[in-house]
Chains A and B, each alone.
Chain A
Amino acid sequence: MPGKLKVKIVAGRHLPVMDRASDLTDAFVEVKFGNTTFKTDVYLKSLNPQWNSEWFKFEVDDEDLQDEPLQITVLDHDTYSANDAIGKVYIDIDPLLYSEAATVISGWFPIYDTIHGIRGEINVVVKVDLFNDLNRFRQSSCGVKFFCTTSIPKCYRAVIIHGFVEELVVNEDPEYQWIDRIRTPRASNEARQRLISLMSGELQRKIGLKVLEMRGNAVVGYLQCFDLEGESGLVVRAIGTACTLDKLSSPAAFLPACNSPSKEMKEIPFNEDPNPNTHSSGPSTPLKNQTYSFSPSKSYSRQSSSSDTDLSLTPKTGMGSGSAGKEGGPFKALLRQQTQSALEQRGGSPHRFCRRREFPFFTLTAFPPGFLVHVGGVVSARSVKLLDRIHNPDEPETRDAWWAEIRQEIKSHAKALGCHAVVGYSESTSICEEVCILSASGTAAVLNPRFLQDGTVEGCLEQRLEENLPTRCGFCHIPYDELNMPFPAHLTYCYNCRKQKVPDVLFTTIDLPTDATVIGKGCLIQARLCRLKKKAQAEANATAISNLLPFMEYEVHTQLMNKLKLKGMNALFGLRIQITVGENMLMGLASATGVYLAALPTPGGIQIAGKTPNDGSYEQHISHMQKKINDTIAKNKELYEISPPEISEEIIGSPIPEPRQRSRLLRSQSESSDEVTELDLSHGKKDAFVLEIDDTDAMEDVHSLLTDVPPPSGFYSCNTEIMPGINNWTSEIQMFTSVRVIRLSSLNLTNQALNKNFNDLCENLLKSLYFKLRSMIPCCLCHVNFTVSLPEDELIQVTVTAVAITFDKNQALQTTKTHVEKSLQRASTDNEELLQFPLELCSDSLSSHPLPPAKEHLESASSNSGIPAAQRATSVDYSSFADRCSSWIELIKLKAQTIRRGSIKTTVTVEKASPVGDGNFRNRSAPPCANSTVGVVKMTPLSFIPGAKITKYLGIINMFFIRETTSLREEGGVSGFLHAFIAEVFAMVRAHVAALGGNAVVSYIMKQCVFMENPNKNQAQCLINVSGDAVVFVRESDLEVVSTQQPTANCQSSCTEGEVTT
């Protein structure tokens, strides 16, 4: 699909004065795409030039369309000397490449200069004409939609969720090229911005290709990150979940409030199209649906029955971009042979499926109801690597291999938990000098294997509902075999169905499932930890870090567990553990949202035990502490309204039944769940968590436990999408980013002092947020995302992005909630039908089909997969550290009793379901937003906008900016500099969204904020990478009036000046 890109430069405004003599500017514009450049006329002597240019036309390949950004440079014409650049605008034209997104980009863009910041605005119109071309050997992937949202986007339904896609590209960092010594900082920054933009485009295109190969048409939960490896290069990597999405064609059908990600699912109409399979086929897929969609159940039973089969099914060489695991040589050879033969026989197809099955990972954190069957617990893996120069950017094997290794580990962890998939999966890195920590984490889970061929499900809806009922608390039930548990855990029978076993505590990285029953409200729980480490070089450094890691993981888990108990809760959602490496220390920060799951047992308290029981005063002190802890727990229970029903009293006394011998796999157990009737409550409630105070360290720990201050009244906070227990959101939202950097006094730093400093930093930051947002009370800070970095020896930087959402205090929360849940559950079961889950490879059907595109590409890639021996030798492999680390992690898991599962309670909610709920719902949406004037662009890290319906996804926003200054003091110091820069980044994101015709960014995330300063030289530099989904939303109140009207791109472009910008 080559295309014609058309660009028109309309006007500029608020340009800076470039000619001191006249106080005016002679501006003109260069429009560059690929290697073609056009220029406008010079508009003499004006700060508000009206170029009104002709249409500049670029005839380009779609490959270029995907990779290249449109580059617009505004210059000041100078007759005698070189023209001065005023600034640039990079426009990603990707949203124009798929039909359902934006049709035109038109609007005012801030003109950005890496040294001066925003300097005026320029009005640009961009269009793309695509020609259809069914070239099967294409390298482009136009038409594949990308979403940052980690759930199925509103107004789409998932036909198939294919699975994990990943890719990475590497390059030299322009900042470290020799030429950087002679070019200006501006040129260097721009080279970097442009390179990352190009790499992002390339990466997205390659991922898109993989999706097309899988017959998908979209990537959900797309997360792209870049690693600044310094001397050794620049890595841009991305992961996502390939899906086949189907647009819901009736936007009128929607719920008054879309507070939870899948709320709208219940509105999903039964597919209008009698044959949904046609939807699922990608742009160039002649194949039928059933030929490539498979039930995973077979696959996993096979996996669990024989590990040999498993291994042979997951050849590492399957990596498209070519990666080599660290398996033994002969084995690898075998695998390669297999792959080779597979390629010969069936072309690229088996290859494709091999890869997909290799990592049954999902970057999604919220799922269509019924998708998630069981949750095993958090699985994570870290590994410490030494960076070396990337020799050949076209062959990023080393980095690929590193990640493959980690993923393999994650996969085996999941398997140990009896799970076949990992959900809520994410990857991250922390780099300091030449040491890099790679981390991956996710939640082991068992997913619904049901494969439904026909989308017309009305007939079986009722039946499905019945079928579904027993498993409603199912996600808490253990997926692993009770007799063959991966770690000792206290299992009890589910407090809801009383048929299945549940653990006493459950940790996950996903959002709270919408159908889960929670008691009371949730709260943000953080574990914070610092560890000093000696400064060291290269291998010694990596060794030191590797040795420290397990201890950190252990302590972080202990802290989380203690804090969870202190809150009187029994489950963590959205758990994110970040380990940051610095020159002389390691920082660990874990954030999660604690809740009380009704299906899990009541958590026991915390008991303190002293080591010198003879000392009277010491004893007194201990008992004093114990009392304080007990008081805190009681207070917290009250604060978060945790009052579990006392239904289990009579059961507690019941005799402990003999554990039944079960050799079956868990899945079969859940299917035959009705057999199990006895209850086992031998552990659980009485289980107290004992803290032994045997030294001052432990004392500190207990103190720090008690110093966490709860948010002021009227405030709640969580790091998940929505706050469990609050459902009546009103429409006021405020997204913000807050950054703090503290300098540690370098004298006599101890771990304790460090911990205290770090703790204070985080606590004070939260306090400041509560204070700043006090006018929004009652409100909740949602999706609180902390990022820690250690930019220099004694500096700690914490970046927080979150959104504050107001809610209506006066409505009965619980009633509404339970009703919603209830109705959701009922209505949305049909959605389950819409899911196909092709984890399993059906080789028979494959063999009968001709090979899809990109065969050559894949072949060449796989033949490259063996790393040349010489190169391998240079890269020091620290996988042994990783291994040791992971075994430690296992141990930690045992000790900290972290990886657990729970269940959902449903019995209580059924009675409460009443028609009143609907009325409540409506009320909630009523208050109009004060900001609802035209042109306001909302930003939120959530996937929805309270009180509004998302009617259209316009495309992904993925922007990278560098800002540098050589006059730091004059710009208000570091704070002034960064404050202005972040405000500018927000402005540029909003401008791009507005130009696409959108009025909001959802799933917004600031992925990177790298800040470096040199106050002595009066210099500072900052790099920021943000992404999100541009959307059009309609207020519910508006929608009721004009249900058909939607803001369009045309509308947006017509309201030019004031509105767009206000």
Chain B
Amino acid sequence: MTSELDIFVGNTTLIDEDVYRLWLDGYSVTDAVALRVRSGILEQTGATAAVLQSDTMDHYRTFHMLERLLHAPPKLLHQLIFQIPPSRQALLIERYYAFDEAFVREVLGKKLSKGTKKDLDDISTKTGITLKSCRRQFDNFKRVFKVVEEMRGSLVDNIQQHFLLSDRLARDYAAIVFFANNRFETGKKKLQYLSFGDFAFCAELMIQNWTLGAVGEAPTVPDSQMDDMDMDLDKEFLQDLKELKVLVADKDLLDLHKSLVCTALRGKLGVFSEMEANFKNLSRGLVNVAAKLTHNKDVRDLFVDLVEKFVEPCRSDHWPLSDVRFFLNQYSASVHSLDGFRHQTLWDRYMGTLRGCLLRLYHD
């Protein structure tokens, strides 16, 4: 006696959260059944393994059918085939688009292309996440990217509107899309200590301040329509950043800046002497990062540069985070007192974001 066909269809589609998770994690039916058996469900319910097998198959089939709809979540809401309560729909979508920290760190900033997709095998081996799950997550990133790529307006809003994600998840996706679009390097060894959260935080600040959308009004120049409001950094702004070079190129200005900062921080900083000794190096580092951002290659290395030029020197001198904060605040603010410097707004736009990023990046 073999079972040829075995199905269960409810008027309200049954969703088992545990099985959904197993499915999302990319387990085969056999593995999922084994895992469920291990969870002790048979003892709790008095069911048999055959029942569990049939139940798991059923859920997998349902999820498989739902997957097509999950690729365009608004379709899930409007479709007529599966009657699912709204709260369940939200859960389905949210879980489907959720991703693993380990996975996202591997692909963050990489081009979401076929080439990367081929690397998924390696990522799967490295992270222990099943290849199936890796594919789903990667495809999610890519799908969101494709949909919002050409769109104008707020990145987070666009994502939320088209994928019906929660605010938090939409922000994360905004960061992923932003990183993918600008191809920021995140995989270098020295960046390994950074979490996805760190990058996402920085991405949000950069989206808010450094992109075209951040300026407010959409530019009226026709060719600038090519630029996406929130995805691409404001090219004009990056060009302008060259002007900041004067802060380190002009020796007088640099000295003045240093003395202003030192005066203000004297006695307030535990690592004052180290700061004083390193000021010029640090300042040069930060300003040079800004000046280099005209080149795409250097934009990609932004985080590498920040860590190399600022985080690592400070860390080697054992600056506490509070001191870093004091220093950065003073360092940014003091520029306003430099009479010879004319690019105050530009400086604020640059340093305001960078300060936030650096503070976030500054940890072990």
Known contacts A736-B11, A768-B8, A975-B7; is-contact A118 B57 (Cβ 8 Å): no
Q: Does B338 contact A (CB under 8 A)?
A: no
A983→B55 contact, CB < 8 A:
no
| Chain B residues whose CB sits within 8 angstroms of the CB of A768 once the complex forms | 6, 8, 51, 54-55
A764-B51, A771-B47 known; A1062 and B8 CB under 8 Å? Answer: no
Interface bracket on B: 35 or more
Tell me which residues across on chain A come within 8 A of B236, comparing CB atoms: none
Q: Does B169 contact A (CB under 8 A)?
A: no
B11 touches A757 (CB 8 A): no
Task: Indicate if B85 sits at the interface (CB-CB under 8 A).
Answer: yes
Write out the residue numbers on chain A whose beta carbons fall within 8 Å of the beta carbon of B87.
Answer: 930
CA distance A211 to B268 in the complex (A): 99
Give the residues in chain B near A110, CB-CB below 8 Å.
80-81
Are A939 and B11 closer than 8 Å at their CB atoms?
A: yes
Nearest chain A residue, comparing its CB with the CB of B13: A983
In the assembled complex, the Cα of A448 lies from the Cα of B313 at a distance in Å of 100
Evaluate whether A938 and B11 lie within 8 angstroms (CB atoms) in the complex, with A767-B47, A771-B55, A984-B81 already known.
yes
Known: A1061-B77, A1062-B89. A974 touches B61 (CB 8 A): no
Flag whether A548 is at the interface (Cβ < 8 A).
no
Closest Cβ of chain A: how far from B57's Cβ, in Å? Answer: 7
- The stretch from A20-28, A506-514, A740-748 touching chain B is A740-748
Task: Say whether B81 contacts A979, CB under 8 Å.
Answer: no
Whether A739 pairs with B11 at a CB distance below 8 angstroms is no
Name the one of A739, A772, A972, A1058 contacting B77, with C-beta atoms under 8 angstroms.
A1058
A987 lies within 8 A of B55 (CB): no
Contact indicator per residue, chain A 756-776, by CB within 8 Å of chain B (1) or not (0): 010011001001111110100
A979:B80 contact, CB within 8 angstroms? no
- For residue B58, which residues in chain A have a CB less than 8 angstroms away from its CB? 772, 979
Query: In this assembly, does A1057 line the interface, its C-beta being within 8 Å of a C-beta of chain B?
Result: yes
Let me know if B5 and A974 touch, CB within 8 A.
Answer: yes
CA distance A991 to B11 in the complex (A): 12
A1057-B80 Cα distance, complex, nearest whole Å: 10
Closest to A797 in B: B5
> CA A1061 – CA B82 in complex, angstroms?
9
A986 part of interface (Cβ distance < 8 Å): yes
B79 touches A14 (CB 8 A): yes
Flag whether A502 is at the interface (Cβ < 8 A). Answer: no
**Residue interface bits B3-15, CB-to-A below 8 A is 1, else 0:** 1111111111110
Shortest distance from the beta carbon of B74 to any chain A beta carbon, whole Å: 9
A1013 to B7 CA separation, bound complex (whole angstroms): 15
Residues of A within 8 A of B54 (CB): 764, 768
| Cβ of B48 under 8 Å from chain A | yes
B81-98: CB near A (< 8 Å → 1, else 0) gives 111111101000000000
Determine if A982 is an interface residue (Cβ-Cβ < 8 Å).
yes
User: Which B residues are in CB contact (< 8 Å) with A937?
Assistant: 83
* Distance between Cα atoms of A931 and B64 in the complex (Å): 23
Measured in the bound complex, the distance between the Cα atoms of B89 and A306 in whole Å is: 68
How distant is B63 from chain A, measured CB to nearest CB, in Å? 12
- Selected contact of B6 from candidates A712, A975, A984, CB within 8 Å: A975
Max chain A C-beta neighbours (<10 A), residue from B2, B61, B83, B87: B83
Asked if B78 lies at the interface with its beta carbon under 8 angstroms from chain A, I say yes
Q: Does B226 contact A (CB under 8 A)?
A: no
- Say yes or no: B9 contacts A774, CB within 8 Å: no
Question: Is B3 touching A742 in the complex (CB atoms < 8 A)?
Answer: yes
User: 1/0 contact trace for A726-757 toward B, CB 8 Å?
Assistant: 00000000111111111111000000000001
Q: Contact mask B267-303 → A, CB, 8 Å, 1/0?
A: 0000000000000000000000000000000000000
A residues 768-815 touching B (CB-CB < 8 Å): 768-772, 774, 795, 797
Q: Which residues of B contact A1057 (CB under 8 A)?
A: 78
B40 to chain A, nearest CB (A): 14
- Closest CB in chain A relative to B342 CB, distance in Å: 52
Q: Which of A739, A760, A771, A936 contacts B5 (CB under 8 A)?
A: A739
**Which residues of chain B are near A939, meaning CB under 8 Å?**
11
**A362 at the B interface (CB under 8 A):** no
Closest to A1015 in B: B4
Question: Which of chain B's residues have a CB closer than 8 A to the CB of A769?
Answer: 8
Cα-based distance from A931 to B84 in the complex (angstroms): 8
In whole angstroms, how far apart are the Cα atoms of A769 and B80 in the complex?
24
Q: Are B4 and A974 in contact (CB under 8 A)?
A: yes
Give bound CA distance, A231 to B86, whole Å. Answer: 48
User: Which one of B1, B13, B51, B85 contacts A757 once the chains associate, using CB atoms below 8 Å?
Assistant: B1
Contact across chains for A1062 and B65 when beta carbons are under 8 A apart: no
Contact A975 B48 (CB under 8 A): no
Contact across chains for A734 and B10 when beta carbons are under 8 A apart: yes
A415 an interface residue at 8 Å Cβ cutoff?
Answer: no
**A residues within 8 A CB of B62?**
979
Contacts of A771 in B (CB 8 A): 45, 47, 51-52, 55
CB of A90, distance to nearest CB on chain B (Å): 16
Chain B contacts of A986 at CB under 8 A? 9, 11, 81, 83
A601 to B301, CA, bound (A): 90
| B115 located at the interface, meaning its Cβ lies under 8 Å from any Cβ of chain A in the complex | no
Shortest beta-carbon distance from A537 to chain B in Å? 27
Question: Interface centre among B8, B79, B85, by most A CB within 10 Å?
Answer: B8
Task: Give the CA-CA distance A319 to B285 in the complex, in Å.
Answer: 102
For residue B75, CB closer than 8 A to chain A, the reply is yes
Contact B8 A736, beta carbon cutoff 8 Å: yes
Q: Does B46 contact A (CB under 8 A)?
A: yes
- What would 26 A/B residue contacts be, using CB atoms closer than 8 Å? A14-B79, A118-B81, A734-B14, A736-B9, A737-B8, A739-B5, A739-B7, A740-B3, A740-B6, A740-B7, A741-B5, A745-B1, A764-B51, A768-B54, A930-B87, A975-B6, A976-B65, A979-B65, A983-B81, A983-B82, A986-B11, A987-B80, A991-B80, A1057-B78, A1061-B80, A1062-B83
Counting from the closest, the 3 A-B pairs by CB-CB distance are A741-B5, A741-B4, A736-B10
